[in-house]
Amino acid sequence: MKINLYSIYLLLLYLVASSFFGLVTLPMQKQDLILVLSLMTIVFYMKELNAKSLNEDRHFYYFFLYSFFASIVMAYLNFSQPIGYSIRAARLFLVYSTLMIALNILLKNTNIKKHYSAIVILSFILILINFYVYLTGDTSILSEDAVIIERLGEIRIVIGTLSIIVFILFFYHHLSENKWFIIPLIGLLLTVIVVHKTRSALFPLLIIMMIPLLRVYKAQFLKFWMFFGAVVLLSFMVSGYEKSIISPITDLFMLLIEESQTAQHSNVNIRGMELAYFWNFLDEISMIFGYGMENIQFKVLYISHYYLSDIGLFNVFYLHGVIGSILYILLYWRLYRVSKRSNSPLHLTGRSIVYFQILSPSSIFLYSPEYMLLLFMIYILIKNSNKNMSKYIKIKE
pLDDT tens, the chain, 397 aa long: 455 678 888 889 999 999 898 888 888 899 999 999 999 999 988 888 777 878 889 999 999 999 999 999 999 999 999 999 999 999 999 999 999 999 998 888 666 777 788 899 999 999 999 988 888 888 888 887 676 666 555 666 778 889 999 999 999 888 888 888 888 998 998 888 888 877 778 888 888 888 776 665 566 667 776 777 676 666 555 544 445 555 566 565 555 555 555 545 556 677 778 888 999 999 999 999 999 999 988 877 887 778 887 787 889 999 999 999 999 999 999 999 999 999 899 999 999 999 998 888 666 788 999 999 999 999 999 998 898 776 655 444 4
Check residue 266 and report its DSSP letter: S
Predicted pLDDT of residue 241: 46
In the chain, the number of structural domains is 1
Predicted pLDDT of residue 114: 73
CB 220 within 8 A of CB 179: yes
Domain extent at residue 153: 2-396
Cα separations (Å) of 195 from 31, 309, 316, 393? Answer: 27, 20, 28, 47
**What is the number of alpha carbons within 13 Å of residue 384 lying toward its C-beta?**
18
Predicted pLDDT of residue 395: 46
At 306, phi and psi to the nearest 5? -105, 130
Tell me the whole-structure pTM to 2 decimals: 0.86
CB 208 within 8 A of CB 356: yes
